[in-house]
Amino acid sequence: MSNWNPRYVTWAKKHGLTPEAMIEKDKQDWPGGCMVGYSLWIQEQVKAICAFYGEKQADLRLIISHCGDKDYHKVFDQWLETSIL
């Protein structure tokens, strides 16, 4: 079983890489802060899903009312998966 954050795995997939290869790429692209690229990307994804649901602030908790019985984290993770296609 992998110890990688599933959202980081999605970030790596977006780049066509494994998480192990992605972390090495991040270290080259962002020396001194190797996960800056991922942090910026995930923040943009939060903004995007909130805007999709008509929320003006970027806070995943704001999409709860749009999720029905679903866990908003699961809704966000599905969003991430479809965003890489």
**pLDDT, position 84:** 64
- Domain ranges for the chain, please list them: 6-83
Distances (CA, A) of 22 to 8, 81, 83: 9, 17, 18
pLDDT score, position 75: 86
pLDDT tens track for 26-49:
999 988 888 899 899 989 998 998
**Ranges of residues in the chain whose predicted pLDDT is under 50:** 1, 85
- Can you give the pLDDT at residue 72? 83
What percent of the chain is modeled with pLDDT above 90? Answer: 31
